[in-house]
Amino acid sequence: MGEPLVLLPGLSNTAEVWDEVRARLGPVDCIVPEHAASASVDEIAAAHLAALPRRFALAGFSFGGYVALAMAAQARNRITRLALVSSGPGSDSPEGRANREKLIGLAQQGRYDTIDARMAPLLVHPDNRESAAINAVRKRMSEQYGVERYIEHQRAAAGRSSRLELLPTLEQPVLIAVGREDRITPLALSEQMARSLPVAELVILEQCGHLAPLEAAAPLAAALARWMQREIKATDPMRIKA
Each residue's pLDDT tens digit, 79-108: 999 999 999 999 999 999 999 999 999 999
In a domain, 130, yes or no: no
In a domain, 55, yes or no: yes
**Strand pairing partners for 60?**
8, 84
CA–CA gap between residue 88 and residue 154 (Å, rounded): 16
CATH number at residue 56: 3.40.50.1820
- For 77, half-sphere exposure in the C-beta direction (CA atoms, 13 angstrom radius) is 6
In a domain, 78, yes or no: yes
Q: What is the mean pLDDT of the chain?
A: 93
Full residue range of the structural domain in which residue 218 is found: 5-93+155-240
pLDDT score at 232? 60
In a domain, 103, yes or no: no
For the purposes of burial, counting CB atoms within 10 Å of the CB of 232, is it exposed (0-12), middle (13-18) or buried (19 or more)?
middle
* Nearest Cα to Cα of residue 223 among 113, 107, 120, 85: 85
In a domain, 118, yes or no: no
In a domain, 48, yes or no: yes
Strands 30-31 and 56-61: unpaired
Give the pLDDT band of residue 235 (cuts 50, 70, 90): very low
- Chain segment 32-77, per-residue pLDDT in tens: 999 999 999 999 999 999 999 999 999 999 999 999 999 999 999 9
In a domain, 149, yes or no: no
Degrees, nearest 5: CA angle 152-153-156: 95
Global pTM reads 0.93
Overall domain count for the chain? 1
CA 167 to the chain's CA centroid:
16
Is 233's pLDDT higher than 70?
no
In a domain, 16, yes or no: yes
CB-based contacts of 22: which residues, under 8 Å, 6+ apart? 7, 28, 30, 32, 221
